[in-house]
Structure 1
Amino acid sequence: MDSNSFFWKIQAGTAATPEAVKTLGGKIVRVDAEQGSVETSFEGKRDFTNPTGAIQGGFLAAMLDDTMGPALAATLNEGEFAPTLNLNVSFHRSAVVGPILGKARIVRRGAEIAFLQGELYQADKLIASAVATAVVRKQAKAT
């Protein structure tokens, strides 16, 4: 963990929160960089609903990605980032407008490849889960 990494700068308020996270109403609730785990919260907005009034699955997938990503990002060094290579989502029940809790962890991390797992809950019920693969990369230096 490096306090100069983009993740920790965002947490300290010295770097901007990503627009996608703002759109989802996302916040980091708890982070344990040593364990590679996070808890997040999101706001399931009416703007995210499908014709049946349920939150559209693409928004839930984005919430899962924005939960698992920070679990890994909290462990990165300054100048590193970790784009998602693969995201496999399973939907367990419909989500409705309202708060959504996310939980994620690093399952295994090598020098470059990391395997992640995450879940979303609403009213203490599992609504979606995912596994993802991410690759740790160095950011190119600006010229």
Structure 2
Amino acid sequence: MTERKGLFWDGVEGRAPIPRAAQTLGFEFLEADIPSGTIELAFTATEAFTNPLGEVLGAFVAAMLYDTVGPALLATLGPDEFQSTLDLQVSFLRPARTGRLRGTGRVVHRNGDIAFLAGELRNPDGELIGTATATARVIPLDH
């Protein structure tokens, strides 16, 4: 298999550090299916993410979903491309607890430099915690 290149692949394949925000979320790359535009990730929700009831704050759930839909697109891009998120909509379906959460993201449709993305976040029992949709623009990297 050819080496995949670009900011995203450099991070997940260990050639560069992953962004600090992703590190904070316990980001873990699991797999990507480039032709179908899908990605599987995991995150680790810690006690630092919780409210007084022990539930993960919605802002952290939204951040995990953001870091799911964006990488779904990033994984499909060339080494001189990146993405800029134009909007993000999140739906919270049930409370999230600490531990490992699994994200699935996909490129729903791409037309030129605009992409429509969707993602889901599930708890360790496979229950759906939240969903997100986003619109992103593919941008060239200036070197």
Shared fold (TM-score, shorter chain, > 0.5) = yes
Report the TM range for the smaller structure's normalisation.
over 0.9
Range 9-18 or range 31-40, more displaced: 9-18
Measured after TM superposition, the shift of residue 4 of structure 1 is 2.1
Correspondence for 2:95: 94
Give ranges in structure 2 of 5+ residues lacking alignment.
none
Give ranges in structure 1 of 5+ residues lacking alignment.
none
Segments ≥4 residues shifted beyond 6 Å: none
Question: 1:33-44 residue pairs with structure 2 within 5 A?
Answer: 33-44=34-45
Residues of 2 paired with 1:79 and 1:69: CA distance? 16
Q: What TM-score do the two structures reach when normalised by structure 1?
A: 0.94
Q: What TM-score do the two structures reach when normalised by structure 2?
A: 0.94
Measured after TM superposition, the shift of residue 12 of structure 1 is 2.1
Q: How many residues align?
A: 140
Correspondence for 1:135: 137
Give the aligned residue type for 1:83.
S
Correspondence for 1:15: 16
Measured after TM superposition, the shift of residue 64 of structure 1 is 0.4
Question: 1:109-120 residue pairs with structure 2 within 5 A?
Answer: 109-120=110-121
Measured after TM superposition, the shift of residue 3 of structure 1 is 2.1
Residues of 2 paired with 1:39 and 1:138: CA distance? 25
Measured after TM superposition, the shift of residue 11 of structure 1 is 2.4
Q: CA RMSD in A?
A: 1.1
